[in-house]
Each structure stands twice: as structure tokens, then as C-alpha cells.
């Protein structure tokens, strides 16, 4: 009786984890991230700042991967959508005195609407046009923000109120971590549903998807809009965490950073980018701060890693994990790493 009961227990835990799209290793990772700001080398404020930056990039990588890994569209103006959300939220807070929390939501909705319109125009074309058009859109918006000084203060930078009344970074860290997890679970849910199947079908073979009755434009637009909404939400966080916005935020190089992280993490896995962002961003920051006499070295490493991964190991870290690490001989370890019980 007792053993039966405990079986029921683990069954429930498994089901909850399955619902949340997490493996035991994933849960352990989240717990690790929750306690890491109190572990000695990481409990300095500048380290927590790096952790926040890493979590932000990780969350962005999830949203970016959601488009590139599933419907095979490169949103090359990703940071334009993020910046649009950020500026919307900041302008509402500065000019109308709106609470940053509500501003973030409105910014997300605005970005989603912009993404919807862009998607409506571009996503009926083949992928490369969508990439070009989002890129041009980003350029145009960067120019507009630079020029509309009366509203955005242009290159001088727009100061905006912060979310919390403290100088500590810890509340921000927990907020962005929560956002990261919620974004992961939301996107994973969507990709597990029937809609996710349609996304994959479109990404793998457009013609086959079309012949089996999937309307590619509809699904692409849904996917793109969701990704842009997340971008806008994260933009709101960016604005109210760093407290200052410049048009440089919308620049393509920022998108390249997210793109590199998403690819190194593993395209189409969603969790890969979020995971790899932490070690990767912290290493990059270490390189940048310790080798400051060699500017740009970290970006060279970015570009080289992106190219090497694309050529030699297109699956990225997620594929490496799934092939070599996820299925060890030991049953307990296998359960821990992949969440699969039966042999």
C-alpha cells in the first residue's frame, strides 16, 4: 500500500513536470539559478548584473528560437521589436506617469501589433524576404527614433523610471528569471499543441504542409506575433532595468548576439539557448572586462562560434546533449537527465 502511494506521488510529480515541460535536470537547473545569487563568486552586485543580462539574452533566445527553429524565419529585426516595446513603455512612464508594470504589458501588446502587421506583409513571401524586410524595418525604426528627438530624446538617451525602488539587482534577477521560465513554458506549450505540429511542418517542408491543408501564412503570423510580443515584454524589462534607452538598442548587432546564443544553444530546442546563455554571457563578460586592451575580441569569438556551430554542428548544444549526455547507462541518471523512466 505504502509503495503504491509513493508511486502515485512520483507519478504526480512527473505529471506536473510534464505539464511544465521540464525534466528533473531542468528543475535542478532552475533551483540552481534560484540560489546562485547567494553563492560566493556570484553574490557580488556586478555578477548579478551579468546574471540578469544572461537571463535576458536567454529569454530573448527562446523567443527568437521560437521563430527560427520552428517556422524557419529569421527575424533579423528582433531588437527593433524589443526596442519598440521598450520605448513604448518608457514613453508612457515618462510622459503619462504610467506605472512601469502596466507600461511593460502595453509595450508588449504594441510590439505584438507591430509584429502582426509586419508578418501580414512579409510572411506570405519566402524566408529571405522576411529576413530582409524585418532588417530594413529595424533600420527605419532606428532612424526614426534617432530623429524624433522631441519624443525619444534621440541619441541623448531616454531616462525612464525603474521597476523597484532599490539599488540592489536581486529583485530584477528574480523577475527576469520568472519571466524566462514563464516564456519557456508558454512557448513549449504552444509547440507541443497541434499548432506546434503545424509550425514544425511548415519549417520542414512548406509544400508538404500546404498540401496537407495547413495555411502557412496563418501559422507563421501567429508564431511571429507571439515572438514579437515576448520581445516587447522583454524590452519593457530592459527599459525599466537599465533605466536608459538609446537608439543603438535597435541595432542589428544586438540581434546577432541573440542569434548566436540561440544557434549555439541548439536551434529548435528552445531550452538550449536559455541554458547556454548563462555560461556564455558570463564568459564573454569576463573576457571583455579582463582583456579590455583587446576590444572586440569577445565579438570575434561570438562570430567564430556562430560560424563553427553552423557549419560543423548545426544542432548546437541541445543536439550534443541529446546524443551524448541524455541517455547514460545508469537508470537514475537517465531519469534525471531525460525524464524517461522505462528502459
Residues of this chain that interact with another protein (CB under 8 A) are 72, 74, 121-122, 125-129, 131-133, 136-137, 139-140, 142-144, 146-147, 206, 253, 256, 259-260, 263, 294-297, 299-300, 302-304, 306-307, 310-312, 314
User: Which CB contacts under 8 angstroms, 24+ apart, belong to 96-100?
Assistant: 100/160, 100/161, 100/162, 100/163, 100/236, 100/239, 100/240
Rounded to a whole number of angstroms, the minimum distance from the CB of residue 296 to another protein is 4
Give which of 3, 259, 273, 20 is closest to 134, Cα–Cα. Answer: 259
Measured distance CA(107)–CA(231) in Å, rounded = 9
> What is the biggest distance separating any 2 CA atoms in the chain, rounded to whole angstroms?
73
d(CA 302, CA 289): 16
CA distance 127 to 124: 9
Pick 101 or 136: Cβ nearer another protein: 136
Q: Taking the complex as a whole, how short is the minimal distance between the CB of residue 284 and another protein, in angstroms?
A: 12
Residue closer to another protein (CB basis): 173 or 199: 199
Q: Which is nearer to another protein, 116 or 164 (CB)?
A: 116
Angle at which helix 216-242 crosses helix 45-68, to 10 degrees, equals 170
Q: Minimum Å distance from CB 128 to another protein?
A: 5
- Smallest gap from Cβ 72 to another protein, in A, equals 7
| Nearest distance in Å: CB 139, another protein | 5
Nearer to another protein, 129 or 189 (CB): 129
The residue to which cell 500546404 is assigned: 210
CB of 22 or CB of 202, closer to another protein: 202
Amino acid at each position: 500500500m505504502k509503495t503504491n502511494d509513493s508511486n502515485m506521488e512520483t507519478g504526480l510529480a512527473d505529471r506536473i513536470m510534464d505539464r511544465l515541460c521540464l525534466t528533473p535536470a531542468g528543475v535542478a537547473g532552475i533551483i540552481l539559478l534560484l540560489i546562485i545569487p547567494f553563492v560566493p563568486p556570484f553574490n557580488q552586485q556586478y555578477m548579478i548584473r551579468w546574471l540578469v543580462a544572461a537571463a535576458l539574452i536567454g529569454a530573448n533566445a527562446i523567443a527568437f528560437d521560437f521563430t527560427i527553429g520552428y517556422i524557419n524565419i529569421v527575424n533579423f529585426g528582433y531588437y527593433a521589436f524589443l526596442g519598440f516595446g521598450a520605448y513604448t513603455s518608457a514613453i508612457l512612464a515618462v510622459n503619462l506617469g504610467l506605472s512601469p508594470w502596466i507600461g511593460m504589458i502595453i509595450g508588449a501588446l504594441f510590439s505584438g501589433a507591430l509584429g502582426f502587421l509586419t508578418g501580414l506583409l512579409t510572411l506570405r513571401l519566402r524566408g529571405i524576404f522576411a529576413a530582409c524586410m524585418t532588417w530594413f524595418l529595424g533600420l527605419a525604426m532606428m532612424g526614426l527614433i534617432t530623429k524624433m528627438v522631441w519624443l525619444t530624446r534621440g541619441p541623448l538617451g531616454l531616462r525612464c523610471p525603474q521597476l523597484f525602488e532599490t539599488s540592489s539587482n536581486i529583485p530584477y534577477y528574480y523577475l527576469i528569471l520568472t519571466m524566462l521560465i514563464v516564456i519557456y513554458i508558454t512557448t513549449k506549450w504552444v509547440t507541443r499543441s497541434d499548432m506546434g505540429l503545424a509550425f514544425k511542418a511548415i519549417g520542414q517542408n512548406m509544400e508538404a504542409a500546404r498540401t496537407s491543408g495547413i495555411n502557412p501564412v496563418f501559422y507563421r503570423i501567429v508564431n511571429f506575433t507571439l515572438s514579437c510580443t515576448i520581445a516587447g515584454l522583454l524590452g519593457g524589462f530592459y527599459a525599466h532595468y537599465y533605466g536608459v534607452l538609446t537608439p543603438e538598442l535597435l541595432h542589428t548587432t544586438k540581434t546577432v548576439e541573440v542569434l548566436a546564443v540561440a544557434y549555439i544553444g541548439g536551434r529548435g530546442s528552445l531550452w538550449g539557448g536559455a541554458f547556454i546563455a548563462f555560461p556564455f554571457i558570463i564568459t564573454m563578460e569576463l573576457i571583455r572586462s579582463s582583456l579590455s586592451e583587446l576590444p572586440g575580441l569577445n565579438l570575434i569569438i561570438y562570430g567564430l562560434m556562430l560560424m563553427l556551430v553552423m557549419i560543423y554542428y548545426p544542432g548546437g548544444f541541445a543536439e550534443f546533449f541529446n546524443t551524448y549526455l541524455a541517455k547514460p547507462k545508469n537508470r537514475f541518471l537517465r531519469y534525471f537527465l531525460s525524464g524517461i523512466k522505462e528502459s
